[in-house]
Amino acid sequence: MAAPVGLLLPRLSPVSEERVTDICECVMDIVAALFNVSGKELRRPGRSSISVTRVRQIGMYIAHVVLRLKMAEIGRGFGRDRKTVQHACHFVEDMRDDEDFDRIIHLTERVTVAAFRHTEVMR
């Protein structure tokens, strides 16, 4: 299993609430495009289909591991609570034992790093 990309990218400074929202919106757009899921569905409050939920969980995981956002920040940015983000991160981490799933997450990490490479988030 590849090392999570985010471990190489320490978070240097706090991010404003508005910027966290923008970052989470971008992550949702990235995972929506990669997994061919409606961005509107990802943003819908309440329960979703299992496929939409899984993509949202991957987005939350990526925001935490790659972009080093705090779980409470991600929860606000994704319209969920911190415990939901915590569950998503644990779920995705556990699923990474599967080689195919791990490759998908690694690709998603790389796309996210590329998308944020020249922003203050990655500095």
The token pair at 87 is 């569950």
- Please write the tens of the pLDDT for every residue from 85-112: 999 999 999 999 999 999 999 999 999 9
Q: How confident is the model at residue 13 (pLDDT cuts 50, 70, 90)?
A: low
Q: Would 72 be classed as within a structural domain? A: yes
SS3 87: helix
- Its domain, for residue 111, covers 17-118
Q: State the CATH number of the domain containing residue 108.
A: 1.10.1750.10
CB atoms within 10 A of CB 9: 18
- Please write the tens of the pLDDT for every residue from 28-48: 999 999 999 999 999 999 999
Q: Would 9 be classed as within a structural domain? A: no
First to last CA, the chain: 26
Q: Model pTM greater than 0.75?
A: yes
How much of the chain is helix, strand and coil, in % rounded to 5?
Answer: 70, 0, 30
What's the confidence (pLDDT) of residue 62? 98
Q: Would 65 be classed as within a structural domain? A: yes
DSSP 2: P
User: How far, in Å, CA of 40 to CA of 109, rounded?
Assistant: 22
Q: Would 4 be classed as within a structural domain? A: no
Q: Would 123 be classed as within a structural domain? A: no
Total count of domains within the chain: 1
Q: Would 35 be classed as within a structural domain? A: yes
